[in-house]
């Protein structure tokens, strides 16, 4: 039986062995740069583990593993451009290292390459697999558009339910889709595929909520970047939206005012004040409890899947690793 360490290593080796460079170099060098920046590689790891869960053959899903991670990195490349983010994984983003046109075109090519990887290996369920990938890609793009819409609307005009629906599409469906693709390649029964997909949704929601929490309360030395960036950027996230549900009217008005302020002369003072308000309304334990609830829902869903417990172990191990992460 393979463990989580095996799957993570298998994915890293898969990307180390793959050649992403081609001509014209100006198009492919940013792709190679992006795909070699590393990252957690969660999605292809989930895909391989889900395939093994139902007795699939690993060699038949390696193309899909490359494809799902290439697609994920395509979304990050374009997100960085839309969000004007200067860094990704501690390195300059593609639009900053090259230019905006390169980021658009190389990103578009990565989307096409993802399809090519999926088509590398035949499968009796290839139509269902590609339909799953396509619907997942559409939902991710819909989620990104909603995220941009929220920034224009402002904090006071976005509900917590709206936000949860957005992160379900932007983040959770790609984790769930990776699991579903792996299971489809293995020929898993439809009911089991549906349970695995639901497991992925809970895992993805917990993952994003945790990301939001770490931006405010993470240890900078461990987190790898300054905390409070969402506050500096007036970004609508799980923290301010939950804080609004806990705040009294004066606290609510102050939060809305702080998140409506742009070009603040003293950004650090703004961060400190928002964090003080978060503490005053008792935000952190509430958010931590809600994250724990999503992880627990993921555990309960995984329990219901009719598969060998030993084969579930890598998924449980990954879930517990994510549950305890500090960055």
Question: How far is 172 from 165, CA to CA, in rounded Å?
Answer: 10
Q: Taking the CB of residue 140, how many other CB atoms lie within 10 A of it?
A: 22
B/e letters for 21-41, b = 16+ CB within 10 Å, e = fewer, are eeeeeeebbbbbbbbeeeeeb
Per-residue DSSP letter, 118: H
Question: In the structure encoding, which two tokens stand for residue 85, read together?
Answer: 């983010």
pLDDT at 286 over 60: yes
Helices (H), 187-308: 190-217, 220-223, 229-232, 238-246, 249-260, 267-280, 283-304
Helices (H), 20-167: 25-35, 42-53, 62-83, 94-97, 100-118, 126-153, 160-167
pLDDT, tens only, 248-257: 999 999 999 9
Q: Taking the CB of residue 293, how many other CB atoms lie within 10 A of it?
A: 14
Question: How far is 165 from 109, CA to CA, in rounded Å?
Answer: 28
pLDDT, tens only, 106-145: 999 999 999 999 999 899 999 999 999 999 999 999 999 9
pLDDT, tens only, 68-97: 999 999 999 999 999 899 989 889 999 999
Q: Taking the CB of residue 297, how many other CB atoms lie within 10 A of it?
A: 17
Longest dimension (CA), the chain: 61
Domain range for 62? 4-323
pLDDT in the model for residue 265? 86
pLDDT in the model for residue 219? 79
Q: Taking the CB of residue 292, how many other CB atoms lie within 10 A of it?
A: 12
pLDDT in the model for residue 59? 96
Lowest-pLDDT range, 32-41, 178-187, 224-233? 224-233
pLDDT in the model for residue 226? 78
Per-residue DSSP letter, 165: H
What pLDDT band is residue 324 in, cutting at 50, 70 and 90? confident
Question: In the structure encoding, which two tokens stand for residue 88, read together?
Answer: 């990704």
Kindly report whether the global pTM for this prediction surpasses the value 0.85. yes
pLDDT in the model for residue 299? 98
What pLDDT band is residue 269 in, cutting at 50, 70 and 90? very high
Give the residue from 268, 216, 235 showing the smallest Cα distance to 154: 235
The rounded mean pLDDT for the chain is 95
DSSP string, 282-297: THHHHHHHHHHHHHHH
Query: Cα dihedral sign for 213, 216, 222, 224?
Result: positive
Query: Cα dihedral sign for 223, 5, 133, 187?
Result: negative
What pLDDT band is residue 49 in, cutting at 50, 70 and 90? very high
pLDDT, tens only, 158-215: 999 999 999 999 999 999 999 999 999 999 999 999 999 999 999 999 999 999 999 9
Q: Which H or E run contains 88?
A: strand 87-88
CATH number for 224 = 1.10.600.10
Q: Total domain count for the chain?
A: 1
pLDDT in the model for residue 243? 98
**C-alpha distances out from residue 10 to 1, 41, 44, 49, 73, Å:** 14, 11, 10, 11, 18
């Amino acid at each position: 039986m393979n463990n989580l360490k095996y799957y993570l290593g298998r994915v890293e080796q898969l990307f180390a062995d793959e050649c992403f460079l081609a001509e014209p170099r100006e198009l492919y060098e940013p792709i190679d740069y992006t795909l070699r920046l590393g990252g957690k590689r969660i999605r292809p790891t989930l895909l391989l583990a889900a395939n093994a869960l139902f007795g699939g053959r690993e060699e038949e899903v390696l193309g899909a593993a490359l494809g799902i991670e290439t697609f994920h990195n395509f979304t990050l490349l374009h997100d960085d451009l839309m969000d004007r983010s200067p860094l990704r994984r501690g390195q300059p983003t593609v639009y900053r290292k090259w230019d905006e046109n390169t980021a658009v075109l190389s990103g578009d090519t990565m989307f096409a390459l993802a399809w090519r990887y999926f088509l590398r290996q035949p499968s009796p369920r290839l139509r269902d697999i590609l339909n799953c990938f396509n619907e997942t890609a559409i939902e991710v793009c819909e989620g990104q558009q909603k995220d941009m819409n929220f920034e224009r609307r402002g904090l006071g005009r976005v509900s917590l339910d709206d936000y949860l629906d957005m992160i379900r599409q932007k983040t959770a469906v790609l984790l769930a889709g990776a699991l579903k693709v792996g299971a489809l390649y293995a020929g898993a029964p439809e009911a089991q595929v549906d349970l695995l997909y639901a497991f992925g949704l809970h895992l993805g929601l917990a993952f994003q909520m945790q990301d939001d929490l770490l931006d405010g309360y993470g240890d900078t030395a461990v987190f790898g970047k300054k905390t409070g960036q969402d506050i500096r950027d007036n970004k609508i996230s799980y923290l301010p939206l939950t804080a609004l549900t806990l705040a009294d009217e004066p606290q609510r008005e102050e939060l809305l005012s702080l998140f409506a302020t742009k070009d603040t002369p003293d950004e650090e003072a703004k961060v400190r004040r928002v964090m003080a308000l978060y503490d005053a309304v008792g935000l952190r334990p509430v958010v931590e409890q809600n994250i724990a609830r999503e992880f627990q829902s993921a555990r309960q869903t995984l329990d219901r899947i009719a598969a060998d417990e030993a084969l579930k172990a890598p998924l449980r191990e990954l879930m517990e690793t994510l549950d305890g992460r500090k960055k």
